[in-house]
Amino acid sequence: MRIFGKVRHRPSASWRQATDRAFTLIGDGRYEDAGALLTRAADMEPWLSESWFNLALLHKFRHDWEQARAAGLRAVALLDREAGAPDWWNVGIAATALQDWPLARRAWQAYGLKVPGEGSPSGEPLGMALGSAAVRLSPEGEAEVVWGRRLDPARIEVLSIPLPSSGRRWGEVVLHDGVPHGERTILSADGATRAYPVFDEIELWAPSPVPTWVVLLEAASEADRDALERLAADAGFAAEDWSSSVRLLCRTCSESRMPSDEGDGEHLDPHDHSEPGHPGPLGHRTAGSGSLWVPERECGIAAPSALVRGLLDGWVADSPDTREWRDLEEVC
Ligand SMILES: [Zn+2]
């Protein structure tokens, strides 16, 4: 049909069939077969933005960023809608994966986000001030939700210390998807509740050179434990008391709106480690909740090997009667 000279195309029945079938195949992980069908669908309706959007989506699932960018650009060229199109968001993700910064900036702006003019010399769209968020590492495998700082709409710098089982490190930068799966709420000191999205990781964007250590602490009080976390942070690295910062959540709870620590604006604990089932009506144990302080703590440290022992010794030296450490081991 023709409206004011503009042709609006309805996709044919065979386009719909091919596309539906392709998404079923994608659900089964059969990307090759799905790609053949979506390519056929795009041949049938090349003027339809959706044809290219679907192909771009498939290439995103396959982490084939060159192809995702190419298909995504065809999709946005055919859009009849101004801001807020997910097509642009996916172009932004592909461009970020490829470090195509001019295109990434264009994509976020076209989506309707403000991108500060300056950025870094490379044109990286930094300075968007998107705040904190959580990201689910390895969403398909042994998932772990960690906290981080959003660098831009598609990247988070991990600021929790991931558990050794994740094989991941503090300081990594992760490329993540646009649609959140879950939320963490934090009650701040002024009584307001802030909600933070939980994004799913797509892939590692930049590795971290800083190894992870596990150590057993004897800390007579919470203040002793806090002192180590502060010392590490002051040195430019991190320590995290896993005994209180990690809780186990089933997939359903992890992907829903869950209260997190009361928080003081800086501590965004706990992070969540996946657990197979929901443990009945009482729900999940909250790490360290309602119990007396236990001096023995299992603590993660993210610091270079040249620094980690000195950090621990310095912590003990500040209060030898209340602090001890042992069994330091590099785990990741
Ligand atoms: Zn649950």
pLDDT in tens, 309-325: 999 999 999 999 999 99
What is the H or E stretch that residue 256 is in?
A: none
Centroid of ligand 1 to alpha carbon of 181 (angstroms): 14
Contact 146, 271 (CB under 8 A): yes
pLDDT at 267 over 50: no
What domains does the chain contain, in order, with CATH numbers?
Answer: 2-111 (1.25.40.10), 132-206 (no CATH), 212-330 (no CATH)
What b/e string do you get for 4-26 counting C-beta neighbours within 10 Å, with b at 16 or more?
eeeeeeeeeeebeebbeebeebb
Q: Rounded to the nearest whole angstrom, what is the distance from the C-alpha of residue 28 to the centroid of ligand 1? A: 25
From residue 26, alpha-carbon distances to 13, 22, 32 in Å are 20, 6, 9
255 Cα: distance to centroid of ligand 1 (angstroms): 9
| Higher-pLDDT residue of 119, 199 | 199
The DSSP element (H or E) to which 34 belongs, if any, is helix 31-44
- Residue 331, pLDDT > 90, answer yes
Task: Report CA(282)–ligand 1 centroid distance (Å).
Answer: 10
Q: Residues 188-243: pLDDT tens digits?
A: 778 888 899 999 999 999 999 999 999 999 999 999 999 999 999 999 999 999 98
What pLDDT score does 5 carry? 46
Q: Which residues of 80-108 are buried (b: 16+ CB within 10 A; e: fewer)?
A: eeeeebebbbbbbbbbbbeebbebbbbbb
Ligand 1 geometric centre to CA of 198 (Å): 16
List Cβ neighbours of 39 (8 Å cut-off, separation of 6 or more): 55
**Ligand 1 centre and the CA of 265: distance in Å?**
26
- How much is the average pLDDT of 47-62? 96
Point out the least confidently predicted range of 35-44, 60-69, 114-123. 114-123
- Predicted confidence band of residue 3 (pLDDT cuts 50, 70, 90): very low
Q: Is the pLDDT reported for residue 285 higher than 70?
A: no
* Identity of the highest mean pLDDT range in 120-124, 128-132, 174-178, 279-283: 174-178
Instruction: Tell how far the Cα of 242 is from the centroid of ligand 1, in angstroms.
Output: 20
Q: What pLDDT score does 264 carry?
A: 42
Q: Tell me the CA–centroid distance for residue 248 and ligand 1, in Å.
A: 9
Higher pLDDT, 275 or 25: 25
Q: Is the pLDDT of residue 6 over 60?
A: no
Distance separating alpha carbons of residues 133 and 199, to the nearest angstrom? 8
pLDDT tens column, 81-97: 777 899 999 999 999 99
Q: How far is the CA of 299 from the centre of ligand 1 (A)?
A: 25
Does residue 269 surpass a pLDDT of 70? no
Give residue 282's pLDDT.
63
- Read off the pLDDT of residues 270-283 as tens digits, 9 standing for 90 and up: 577 766 677 766 66
Q: What's the pTM value of the predicted model, to 2 decimals?
A: 0.90
129 against 53, higher pLDDT: 53
Is the model more confident about 236 or about 251? 236
- Looking at residue 289, its pLDDT comes to 53
Query: Using an 8 Å Cβ cutoff, are 88 and 106 in contact?
Result: no
* Ligand 1 centroid distance, CA of 127 (Å): 36
Alpha carbon of 281 to ligand 1 centroid (Å): 9
- Ligand 1 centroid–CA 257 distance in Å is 11
Percentage of residues in the chain having pLDDT higher than 70: 89
Q: What is the pLDDT of residue 280?
A: 66
pLDDT band, very low/low/confident/very high, at 140 (cuts 50, 70, 90)? confident
Tokens of 228: 């180590």
Residue 62, pLDDT score = 96
Query: 18-32, 37-51, 107-121, 139-153: lowest mean pLDDT where?
Result: 107-121
